[in-house]
Amino acid sequence: MGENKLIKAYDELMGHLYEALDDTLHSVAEALEIAKEKTSALGGHTQEEINKIADYVMRDIEHVATAPSQQHDNNSLSEWLKFDIDLIENFALDAFMDIADKTKVKLAALEMEAKQYHPYKSGEVASPGTFTCDACGKEIAFKSTSVIPKCPACQGDAFTRC
């Protein structure tokens, strides 16, 4: 799957997840399954690709929802993203934050399990933000949904979200 296709699938799945979570009758798991089905119905993606993208979306949402003392206002979000919100291109920020707020309540029970390390690897899709190379400490930042590249400094492939 090409990088642009991965990014498009990520954004499509995020949009479908937002719609499914808008109906408060659905749990996050149910909403994710609905989003995966809708994304699959659009065609162009294998089930394996959709599952991989769903994992990326949930990883990013869990990070926002379980971040310590995360206040979802412009200042703290800008700090989390490490750049001004006005620079974010092609990303449904309101939808993402709404999903994160809804999942924050639902993920409270999982917070103890969420303390495990969730590495970001080159080749994976991630939401906007700043990442630090685990090997050399170089920071890379994305203004929109992107595929994580190898570290430009050391060619490392494991990153931590700042």
Give pLDDT tens digits for 33-70. 888 999 999 888 899 999 999 888 888 877 776 665 54
Q: What is the pLDDT of residue 115?
A: 41
Residue 67, token pair as written in the block:
């971040």
3-state secondary structure of 25: coil
Instruction: State the average pLDDT for the chain.
Output: 75
Give just the sign of the alpha carbon dihedral 122, 58, 38, 99: negative
Residues 6 or more apart whose CB falls under 8 angstroms from that of 84 comprise 78
Q: What are phi and psi of 95, to 5 degrees?
A: -65, -45
- Who wins on pLDDT, 68 or 87? 68
d(C-alpha 85, C-alpha 81), whole Å: 8
Q: What is the pLDDT of residue 152?
A: 96
- Who wins on pLDDT, 160 or 150? 150
| 68-72, 101-105, 128-132, 156-160, range with the lowest pLDDT | 68-72
